[in-house]
């Protein structure tokens, strides 16, 4: 099977890497406490962006982004200027920078969520940034208010560095996948609520309203989508994994043949899954992941009758300058 833009399993070696160090092992059990703590840290920072940035369709104003140091908010408007917040996973610091040259830092180390919350808000206030955020975590079972959370207090810098390295590699593949689509498509972005890196393609058609959906869900799924992502695992999924789904759900999608062979359809979740360990141990992790992205999208787009000729980059299109 081939995509319209490039052959599957032939990744662009200039933008993706298959070196083993780019795809490190990261069993969920080995860093689950740090993962839970870092998840809360990112929610606290993300809620600041949510509070201050103007709403963009499908909540594109709230995620974080992978960059050369870790995860960043990008510029957030406030008062007369802008600021950004950077999770620096090389120096293991949280850095606040404003456009007037102010720089404030907070070390990332084993610290309770309650202490991080208090110290982070003090950091913002010291830079003249006054903001109120909802102190309850979202999208997790049994949430604890940030200011009362003394349960989560772990930070393993080596595990965090490995997680970020995985995000860097996945981000590169997802951006290659994104480049093959000329229709409406999200950035590759990190959602702090669900703690996953994702990219979403749109058919351009409205989706039927979901009965009983909350405001977040209504906005996120107002249009037909095909989404692929990566997250560290949890619940039934005992390790890091890639996922791919269509919304609204499609009858017959679960019977579709997709690549690579290790991918499977999870009936309860209603999406395709591919375990990270089945990607990183292949001769070309980039090619295996790109195959998963392309084949699951093509299966869904075909069943949903997307106008692929108008939405996908043609085989003869050039993606580089001459």
Give the pLDDT confidence of 2-53 residue by residue, as tens digits: 333 344 555 555 568 999 999 999 999 999 999 999 999 999 999 999 999 9
The tens digit of pLDDT for each residue in 119-159 reads 999 999 999 999 999 999 999 999 999 999 999 999 999 99
Mean pLDDT across 167-190: 98
In tens, the pLDDT along 207-252 reads 998 888 888 889 898 999 999 999 999 999 999 999 999 999 999 9
> Are 65 and 189 in contact, with CB atoms under 8 Å apart?
yes
Total number of residues shown for the chain: 322
This prediction has a pTM of: 0.92
**pLDDT one-digit tens code per residue, 108-125:** 999 999 999 999 999 999
Give pLDDT, residue 77.
Answer: 97
Q: Please give the average per-residue pLDDT across 196-204, as a whole number.
A: 98
Q: What is the mean pLDDT of the chain?
A: 93
Half-sphere exposure of 30 (CA within 13 A, CB side): 13
Burial of 235 (0-12, 13-18, 19+ CB in 10 A): exposed
- CA atoms of 281 and 147, how far apart (whole Å): 41
**pLDDT score for 262:** 98
The reported pLDDT for the residue numbered 10 is 54
Confidence class for position 314, pLDDT limits 50, 70, 90: confident
pLDDT of amino acid 15: 67
pLDDT of residue 271 exceeding 70, the answer is: yes
For residue 296, pLDDT over 50 is answered with: yes
| Residue from 140, 160, 139, 149 nearest 118 by CA | 149
Sign of CA dihedral 265, 266, 270, 274: negative
What is residue 273's three-state secondary structure? strand
Q: What pLDDT shows up at residue 14?
A: 53
pLDDT at residue 318 greater than cutoff 70: no
Question: Which pLDDT does position 215 carry in this prediction?
Answer: 86
| Predicted pLDDT of residue 16 | 83
Strand-strand pairing, 70-72 and 65-66: antiparallel
């Amino acid at each position: 099977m081939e995509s319209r833009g490039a052959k599957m399993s032939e990744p662009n070696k200039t933008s993706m890497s298959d070196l083993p160090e780019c795809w490190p092992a990261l069993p969920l059990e080995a860093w689950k406490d740090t993962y839970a703590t870092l998840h809360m840290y990112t929610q606290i920072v993300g809620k600041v962006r949510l509070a201050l940035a103007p709403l963009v369709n499908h909540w594109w104003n709230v995620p974080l982004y992978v960059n050369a140091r870790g995860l960043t908010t990008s510029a957030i408007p406030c008062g007369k200027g802008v600021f950004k917040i950077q999770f620096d996973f090389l120096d293991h610091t949280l850095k606040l920078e404003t456009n007037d040259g102010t720089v404030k830092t907070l070390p990332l180390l084993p610290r309770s969520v309650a202490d991080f919350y208090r110290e982070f808000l003090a950091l913002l206030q010291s830079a003249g940034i006054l903001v109120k955020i909802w102190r309850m975590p979202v999208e997790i079972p049994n949430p604890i208010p940030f200011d009362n959370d003394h349960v989560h207090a772990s930070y393993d810098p080596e595990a965090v560095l490995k997680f970020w390295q995985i995000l860097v590699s996945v981000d590169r593949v997802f951006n290659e996948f994104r480049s093959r689509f000329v229709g409406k498509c999200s950035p590759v972005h990190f959602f702090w609520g669900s703690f996953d890196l994702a990219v979403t393609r749109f058919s351009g058609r409205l989706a039927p309203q979901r009965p009983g959906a909350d405001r977040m869900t209504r906005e996120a799924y107002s249009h037909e989508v095909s989404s692929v992502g990566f997250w560290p695992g949890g619940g039934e999924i005992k390790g890091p994994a890639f996922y791919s789904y269509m919304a609204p759900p499609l009858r017959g999608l679960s019977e579709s043949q997709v690549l690579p062979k290790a991918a499977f359809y999870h009936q309860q979740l209603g999406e395709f899954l591919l375990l990270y360990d089945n990607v990183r141990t292949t001769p070309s992790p980039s090619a295996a992941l790109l195959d998963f992205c392309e084949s699951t999208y093509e299966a869904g787009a075909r069943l949903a009758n997307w106008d692929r000729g108008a939405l996908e980059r043609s085989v003869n299109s050039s993606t580089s300058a001459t």
